[in-house]
Amino acid sequence: MHRSHLLALSSALALVAASSAARADGTPAPAAPPAAPPAASPASAASSFNASKFVWAGLGLYNISVSIPSVCEDGFCVGGSVSSTNFGITGGGAYGFVQLAPGLMLNGWGDIAIALGSDTYLPINVGAGVTYDKLPVVLFGGLGFELAVPTGGGSTSEGVDIKVMGLYPLAQVMAHLAAQAQFNIAFLSNSLTIWTLTVGAGYSF
């Protein structure tokens, strides 16, 4: 047997003997080192934000564009589009009805906004969408019906609204609170298109 093996065996026997002697005279044996804590699993938004029932409010930019049909006379044509970008505020909410899959919820939603500026409109939306909450950010996408009511007079426009939203839970600030950002685009009658980009806050129940 190699000398190194003999030395290792002697050390092990001495350690066992010392441990036995310590227990014999009442001295506790050295405690085993504490086990390492389990590795933390990635956090999901579901742990602090209820994606089945929440509200939001925000402010941002509203771009209103009107397409003008081309009119030609004597070889000279006039047409195109006119647009303006305004400041606006919005608020709404979503309620979950059906759990489609783990983390995936079918929601009904609605919101109302006001776009202030040279073209003041009151967009009102209702629709359906889905939320996904298995990521650090809650994702929400929806399709809705929109009425855009001009507050200064004129014809009300109606059409389809597409909504995409992200909510980042702020549990370290307040339970159920989230930072919120959304993008909407609505294709409406009367050759009207409205797109919005807003940021704000969300709160779940």
For residues 117 and 203, what is the distance between their CA atoms, to the nearest angstrom?
Answer: 29
**Residue 25 resides in a domain:** no
CATH number of the domain encompassing residue 179: 2.40.160.20
Number of domains in the chain: 1
Identify the CA nearest to 61 among candidates 82, 81, 90: 90
Q: Within a 13 Å sphere around the CA of 137, how many CA atoms are in the beta-carbon half?
A: 12
The pLDDT tens digits of the residues spanning 18-76 come to 555 444 455 555 555 555 555 444 456 666 899 999 999 999 999 999 988 777 777 67
Q: Within a 13 Å sphere around the CA of 122, how many CA atoms are in the beta-carbon half?
A: 8
For residues 62 and 49, what is the distance between their CA atoms, to the nearest angstrom?
Answer: 28
**Residue 7 resides in a domain:** no
The pLDDT tens digits of the residues spanning 122-145 come to 999 999 999 999 999 999 999 999
Residues 109, 56: contact at Cβ < 8 Å? no
**Residue 17 resides in a domain:** no
pLDDT-derived band at 1 (thresholds 50, 70, 90) equals very low
41-50, 144-153, 156-165, 192-201: segment of lowest average pLDDT: 41-50
- Note the pLDDT of residue 24: 46
What does 102-116 look like in DSSP terms, one character per residue?
TTEEEEEEEEEEEEE
**Residue 113 resides in a domain:** yes
**Residue 117 resides in a domain:** yes
Tokens linked to 58: 């925000």
- Note the pLDDT of residue 33: 55
42-51, 118-127, 144-153, 180-189: segment of lowest average pLDDT: 42-51
**Residue 13 resides in a domain:** no
- Considering the chain, what percentage of its residues have pLDDT values greater than 70? 75
For range 5-24, the mean pLDDT: 52
The reported pTM is: 0.75
Structural domain boundaries enclosing 65: 45-204
The pLDDT tens digits of the residues spanning 78-110 come to 667 889 999 999 999 999 999 999 999 999 999
